[in-house]
């Protein structure tokens, strides 16, 4: 029941969205085509009766007529099959586009992508949930639901044919006899119940193994991806053997689980194959005595056999698709788990942040580690006005970067309040983020590049000694690999000048620059943004000249002290 509830939770948003009308029309068209296929199968059943009767009677004219009917039936079968595929794929694409877009928006909302990484590290590979699992969920769900509907329609359509064709079957018991109407219907029912129960019992471990296999394979792919992302660092450490040990360990874990999966699938496959094969001859053996006694012609025997096959196949639908059901269940479990984690994330950062356009203020800020065992900062307050600049200095591990995260709503293990121009705040990190695309788009990120501001962009690049990049603004390459860390940090200063924020946080954003380059960056930054509040984190004494106030750790009291630069001179 939990899986069905999870399925409905995942599917309902699409079927109640603005896409529901075209989606329902496509679904209706797909269902109609599948019903057409059932109708063709019914006609084909009666074709069997006439065709084999014609063969037995050596009626050549009836044989030729049956041949023409066969061609028409195959044309109809092909038409309905292709049309059903067409409408189902159009529905799949529409559902897939909506679901992925909606899930991405949900993932990006309130910076959940970051909170998920910080607070729910056990959520494995959320990118795979979006890229792979949604696709699998939609494809398998449609296939199973439409298949089940077709099976039910076929079942009720052929039950009447099989019941009437079976007639009254007499089973002798000594001097008495038992007359059973529609015997083959009861045989098909009992055989299907036994087969379905056996398949579910033998394959009960498959959903869990499928779930684990997806995780093992994703972990292996992730380790390979890290090799590509950190190739230079690994080469500098000569860490090839260590990486190979990691690869081998994760590959072995995936293969061991895969073998456990194969062993279970092997049992289910053998059972299903034997079960489906034996079903084809059961009606022949049951009806053979009457046929050889001349009770009915060959055509009726083939009709009974075909009808039994349709009824049995419909009743045994769950047996045939059990491996897909197991895979579908694991996909539903993964997606609902991912959605539960997203819903459980609180949009509250811990710090009460409010918009204030003309100043920066912190009141009673407290920070602690996620486990709650260590307090990083207690009852800290601060007020800055436009044009102020603050340098924060403290030993590594004190929580300097965490302070900025908390004030910006990126760390929820905090309390207190912060007020500033939240719509015009920018963080320059030690390792700038360079998205995919043209250099022009990267420098304007996250805003859309404005070609009308090319003179300002070119001027900023020249001032930060990046003039050689002006001719490459429209080039697309992996700029995070092509540019040195120092060049990337200077590019982040270009971003700041273009954005003109009211509050600018600089988290060791000049760590890869020498003092001359650092001086150039801060001097030009202050010239271009004289009213911007600067809050810097750094260790170099050379940074003091660019800040009017300094916040540092008092080694004696282990507390933060705030002073002006002149007071410390």
Does 568 score more than 60 pLDDT?
A: no
Tokens at residue 250, please? 């994760």
Three-state DSSP string of 150-170: HHHHHHHHHHHHHHHHHCEEE
Q: Higher-confidence residue: 490 or 110?
A: 490
pLDDT score for 56: 82
Distance CA 536, CA 403 (A): 12
Q: Higher-confidence residue: 348 or 212?
A: 212
Does 366 score more than 70 pLDDT?
A: yes
185 phi-psi bin (left φ>0, alpha ψ -120 to 50, beta other):
alpha
Instruction: Indicate the CATH number for domain 2-344.
Output: 1.20.1560.10
Q: Which residues touch 293 (CB under 8 Å, ≥6 apart)?
A: none
Does 279 score more than 80 pLDDT?
A: no
Q: Exposure pattern of 528-564 as b/e (b: 16+ CB <10 Å)?
A: bbeebbbbbbbeeeebeebbebbbbbeeeeeebeeee
The string of pLDDT tens digits covering residues 36-76 is: 999 998 898 888 888 888 888 888 888 899 889 999 999 99
pLDDT score for 88: 96
Q: Are 169 and 183 in contact, with CB atoms under 8 Å apart? A: yes
pLDDT score for 27: 96
Per mean pLDDT, which of 59-63, 350-354, 441-445, 486-490 is the most reliable?
486-490
Q: Higher-confidence residue: 394 or 508?
A: 508
**Strands of 375-384's sheet in order across:** 352-355, 414-420, 360-368, 375-384
Does 427 score more than 70 pLDDT?
A: yes
The string of pLDDT tens digits covering residues 328-345 is: 988 898 899 888 888 877
pLDDT confidence band for 351 (50 / 70 / 90): confident
Does 14 score more than 70 pLDDT?
A: yes
pLDDT score for 44: 87
Instruction: Indicate the CATH number for domain 352-568.
Output: 3.40.50.300
Does 186 score more than 90 pLDDT?
A: no
Rounded to an integer, the average pLDDT of 164-192 is 74
Domain ranges of the chain: 2-344, 352-568
Candidates 234, 65, 5, 37; CA nearest to 150 is: 37
Q: For the ranges 129-143, 235-249, 303-317, 548-562, which has the lowest average pLDDT?
A: 548-562
Q: Higher-confidence residue: 568 or 71?
A: 71
Q: For the ranges 187-191, 202-206, 372-376, which has the lowest average pLDDT?
A: 372-376
State the chain's mean pLDDT as an integer: 85
pLDDT score for 272: 81
Distance CA 563, CA 534 (A): 16
pLDDT score for 555: 54
The string of pLDDT tens digits covering residues 70-118 is: 999 999 999 999 999 999 999 999 999 999 999 989 888 877 887 777 7
């Amino acid at each position: 029941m939990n899986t069905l509830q999870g399925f409905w939770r995942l599917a309902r948003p699409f079927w109640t969205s603005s896409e529901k009308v075209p989606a329902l029309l496509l679904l209706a068209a797909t269902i109609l085509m599948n019903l057409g296929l059932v109708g063709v199968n019914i006609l084909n059943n009666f074709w069997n009766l006439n065709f084999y009767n014609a063969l037995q009677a050596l009626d050549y004219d009836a044989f030729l007529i049956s041949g023409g009917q066969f061609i028409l039936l195959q044309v109809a079968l092909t038409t309905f099959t292709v049309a059903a595929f067409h409408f189902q794929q159009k529905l799949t694409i529409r559902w897939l586009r909506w679901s992925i877009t909606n899930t991405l928006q949900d993932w990006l909302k309130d910076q959940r992508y970051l909170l998920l990484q910080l607070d729910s590290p056990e959520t494995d590979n959320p990118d795979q949930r979006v890229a792979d699992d949604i696709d699998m969920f939609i494809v398998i769900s449609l296939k199973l639901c439409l298949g089940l509907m077709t099976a039910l329609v076929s079942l009720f359509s052929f039950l009447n044919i099989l019941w009437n064709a079976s007639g009254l079957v007499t089973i002798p018991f000594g001097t008495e006899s038992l007359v059973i109407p529609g015997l083959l219907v009861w045989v098909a029912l009992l055989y299907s119940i036994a087969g379905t129960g056996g398949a579910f019992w033998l394959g009960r471990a498959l959903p869990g193994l499928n779930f684990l296999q997806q995780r093992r394979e994703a972990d292996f792919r992730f380790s390979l991806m890290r090799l590509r992302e950190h190739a230079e660092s690994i080469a500098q450490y000569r860490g090839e053997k260590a990486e190979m040990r990691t690869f081998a360990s994760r590959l072995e874990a995936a293969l061991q689980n895969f073998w456990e999966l194969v062993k279970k699938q092997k049992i289910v496959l053998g059972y299903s194959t034997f079960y489906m094969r034996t079903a084809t001859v059961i009606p022949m053996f049951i009806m053979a005595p009457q046929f050889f006694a001349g009770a009915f012609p060959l055509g009726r025997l083939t009709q009974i056999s075909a009808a039994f096959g349709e009824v049995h196949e419909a009743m045994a639908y769950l047996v045939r698709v059990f491996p897909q059901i197991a895979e579908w269940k694991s996909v539903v479990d993964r997606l609902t788990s991912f959605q539960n984690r997203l819903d459980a994330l609180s949009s509250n950062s811990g710090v009460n942040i409010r918009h204030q356009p003309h100043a920066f203020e912190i009141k009673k800020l407290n920070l602690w580690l996620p486990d709650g065992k260590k307090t990083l900062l207690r009852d800290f307050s601060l007020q800055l006005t436009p044009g102020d600049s603050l340098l924060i200095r403290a030993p590594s591990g004190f929580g300097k970067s965490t302070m900025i995260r908390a004030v910006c709503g990126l760390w929820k293990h905090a309390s207190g309040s912060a007020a500033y121009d939240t719509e015009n705040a920018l963080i320059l990190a030690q390792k700038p983020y360079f998205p995919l695309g043209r250099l022009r788009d990267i420098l304007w990120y996250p805003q859309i590049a404005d070609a009308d501001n090319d003179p300002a962009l070119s001027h900023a690049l020249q001032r930060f000694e990046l003039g050689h990049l002006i001719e490459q603004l429209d080039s697309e390459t992996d700029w995070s690999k092509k540019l040195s860390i120092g060049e990337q940090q200077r590019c982040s200063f270009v971003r700041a000048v273009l954005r003109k924020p009211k509050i600018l946080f600089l988290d060791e954003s000049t760590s890869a620059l020498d003092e001359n380059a650092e001086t150039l960056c801060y001097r030009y930054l202050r010239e271009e943004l004289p009213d911007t509040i600067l809050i810097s984190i750094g260790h170099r004494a050379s940074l003091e000249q660019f800040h009017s106030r300094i916040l540092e750790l008092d080694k004696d009291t282990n507390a933060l002290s705030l002073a002006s630069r002149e007071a410390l001179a």
